[in-house]
Amino acid sequence: MATTEVRVSPEDVKQAASQVHERIPEPSVAVIFGASGDLTKRKLLPALFHLEQAGLLPEQFRIVGVARRNLANSFAEDMREGIVEFGGVDKNDGKLDEFVKRIAYHAMDFDNEQGYASLQELLSQFDRDYGTRGNRLFYLATAPDYFADIVHRLGSHGMAKPEVGTVRVIIEKPFGHDLESAKELNDDVNTVFGENQIFRIDHYLGKETVQNVLVFRFANGIFEPIWNRNFVDHVQITAAENIGIEGRGPFYEKAGALRDVMQNHIMELLSFVTMEPPASFAAEAVRREKIKLWTSIKPLNIFDCVRGQYGAGIIDNQMVKGYREEDRVDPQSQTETYAAVRLEIDNWRWAGVPFYMRAGKRLAKRVTEITIQFKQPPMLLFGTHMHGPCTDIQPNRITMRIQPDEGISLRFGAKVPGPQMAVCPVVMDFNYAHAFGSSSANGYERLLLDAMLGDATLFAHRDGVETTWALYTPVLDAWATKYPQTFPNYAAGTWGPECGDELIGRDGHTWHSVEVSPKV
Ligand code: BG6
């Protein structure tokens, strides 16, 4: 398939960037609970350092890692390594030494009252020594079981609503494991923090390409008129990973693909692709449209939700083990590592358009993409024998590549040069890295900055979280009562179980991402 590239002028990029005001947050301390975990080293600290490099952090900014182990002597240096290794930062970067000096560590058990009292003292000391003015950003990156307890103790120590300063709390996913637990957690957190202090994070919303879905739809005039049931045949969303569970056996055993990725990341992608234009790009307006969209989804039919679990297989020419053989996983485990869902949205824009979504571990390659497939032209003018060979007439398709190889492509038919009316699909491709250069940002930069600025547009609201859990909880309940007898039902390194192909095949379609993304 022939491909052409979209070009971007560097002057235009400069001009666009110069029109945006840099937003620098107030002085503050970021306090990361669960700081000894991977997330802090791999994502949070590199993201904070990227903000520092971009001049977006205030001078009076400090970081405190909180965890149980005594890491006081090694934490800051360990974070330096993380910034270099995972943040793509030169170890001789001129700003690194100063940044590492701002990192402190506080060892405590999350249920230890004395630990909170001494944390509070430490933070007050920072206010005096570094001018952080009582502003706090608490980041809960612990196992979810600790969320409610930490929040309550912050409250009882007067750290949630102090007299001086602004306090915000970021809560990592998973936010509950079903509707009831999500409600309970929301109630717990809401008794201590106001909703405007709570930032429920979904790191997919920090990804440039995910935000670009809204820009593509609402900053351009030509796509919205065709973005509806009159023109769209169906939509596919794939979040495929070739990695396994990466040592997270105990977590994943309780989660599974539906809870881990489908209920949150994929539903966020779905909402961006399908919601109505919000009145403004402000938190309230965007959230309202998302919730309206999610509540318009027809209750899921259990036959439209399928699951799989990987067995041993080959990835990158290496033999890898099956899920049941992974560390700290039940050898008889019934946890799904793949889920696919077909749903319909019962509103004026989308009635009758099927949406197919799938997520899985140990699939053939890592790819997250959204494909909008348009209807065939009403008449195949070039498909008749009178006009000679019509080789390959295929419906138009817009593919948004969220990762890797970030970009957007449009497929359309073009005449093959020559005396006959031969038609061949070609692809017009916009590739982020080619257009704007590659970036080492990991998505947390934008979200951390927004949380420090108090902008919740790209965070989940309690109503939204509960709405998506309400959709999936009946499926999870049904799955919990009836285990499939077929696990493992796909080999690592393949595109998932047959039931996933059958799900979409029933409507006469096939999954798109099986194709290789176009290369320029
Ligand atoms: C996390 C899930 O939320 O998202 C992981 O818990 C998954 O299981 C990850 O691997 C995928 O994120 P990304 O950014 O690599 O697509």
pLDDT digits (tens, 9 = 90+) for 462-497: 999 999 999 999 999 999 998 888 999 999 999 999
The set of protein residues with a Cβ atom below 6 angstroms from ligand 1 is 173, 241, 260-261, 368
Residue nearest to ligand 1 atom 6, measured at CA: 260
Between the CA of 297 and the centroid of ligand 1 the distance, in Å, is 24
With the most atoms of ligand 1 within 8 angstroms of its CB, the residue from 260, 358, 446 to mutate is 260
Residue nearest to ligand 1 atom 13, measured at CA: 204
Averaged pLDDT, 75-88: 95
Report the distance separating Cα 465 and Cα 290, nearest Å: 11
pLDDT surpasses 90 at 520: no
Averaged pLDDT, 17-35: 85
Confidence of residue 123 (pLDDT cuts 50, 70, 90): very high
Confidence of residue 57 (pLDDT cuts 50, 70, 90): very high
Looking at residue 69, its pLDDT comes to: 93
pLDDT surpasses 90 at 23: no
Looking at residue 1, its pLDDT comes to: 61
With the most atoms of ligand 1 within 8 angstroms of its CB, the residue from 265, 368, 369 to mutate is 265
pLDDT surpasses 50 at 110: yes
Q: What is the mean pLDDT of the chain?
A: 91
pLDDT surpasses 50 at 224: yes
Averaged pLDDT, 45-53: 96
Looking at residue 517, its pLDDT comes to: 37
Confidence of residue 305 (pLDDT cuts 50, 70, 90): very high
**Which atom of ligand 1 is found nearest the CA of 248?**
8
Looking at residue 45, its pLDDT comes to: 97
pLDDT surpasses 60 at 236: yes
**% of residues, the chain, pLDDT over 90:** 79
Confidence of residue 326 (pLDDT cuts 50, 70, 90): very high
Least trusted range by pLDDT, from 62-71, 404-413, 439-448, 498-507 = 439-448
Which DSSP symbol is given to 94?
A: T
With the most atoms of ligand 1 within 8 angstroms of its CB, the residue from 173, 207, 241 to mutate is 241
Residue nearest to ligand 1 atom 8, measured at CA: 260
**Which atom of ligand 1 is found nearest the CA of 442?**
14
Phi and psi based region of residue 443 (left: phi greater than 0; alpha: psi -120 to 50; beta: remaining): left
With the most atoms of ligand 1 within 8 angstroms of its CB, the residue from 44, 177, 201, 203 to mutate is 203
Between the CA of 202 and the centroid of ligand 1 the distance, in Å, is 10
pLDDT surpasses 90 at 420: no
pLDDT surpasses 60 at 345: yes
The Cα-based distances of 1 to 369, 403, 411, 414, 517 in angstroms read 19, 21, 9, 11, 11
The Cα-based distances of 408 to 28, 154, 297, 511 in angstroms read 38, 44, 26, 17
Residue nearest to ligand 1 atom 15, measured at CA: 241
Spatial contact of 350 and 344, defined as CB atoms under 8 Å apart: yes
Averaged pLDDT, 360-368: 96
Between the CA of 104 and the centroid of ligand 1 the distance, in Å, is 28
pLDDT surpasses 80 at 308: yes
Which DSSP symbol is given to 206?
A: G
pLDDT surpasses 80 at 77: yes
What are the phi and psi torsion angles at 121 (to 5°)?
A: -60, -45
Averaged pLDDT, 272-301: 95
Averaged pLDDT, 199-214: 93
Between the CA of 460 and the centroid of ligand 1 the distance, in Å, is 17
Residue nearest to ligand 1 atom 2, measured at CA: 260
**Which atom of ligand 1 is found nearest the CA of 241?**
10
Between the CA of 19 and the centroid of ligand 1 the distance, in Å, is 33
**Which atom of ligand 1 is found nearest the CA of 173?**
3
Spatial contact of 341 and 239, defined as CB atoms under 8 Å apart: no
Looking at residue 516, its pLDDT comes to: 41
Q: Which residues are catalytic?
A: 265
Between the CA of 203 and the centroid of ligand 1 the distance, in Å, is 8
Averaged pLDDT, 317-345: 97
Looking at residue 174, its pLDDT comes to: 87
pLDDT surpasses 90 at 515: no
345-383 CB burial, b ≥16 within 10 A, e <16: bebebbeebbbbbbbbbbbbbebbbbbbbbeeeeeeebe
**% of residues, the chain, pLDDT over 70:** 94
Q: What is the pTM of this model?
A: 0.92
Spatial contact of 408 and 399, defined as CB atoms under 8 Å apart: yes
Averaged pLDDT, 143-165: 92
**Which atom of ligand 1 is found nearest the CA of 239?**
16
Between the CA of 432 and the centroid of ligand 1 the distance, in Å, is 21
Looking at residue 387, its pLDDT comes to: 52
Residue nearest to ligand 1 atom 5, measured at CA: 260
* Orientation angle between helical segments 462-481 and 283-295, nearest 10 degrees: 30
Averaged pLDDT, 419-444: 86
Q: Which residue has the higher pLDDT, 383 or 170?
A: 170
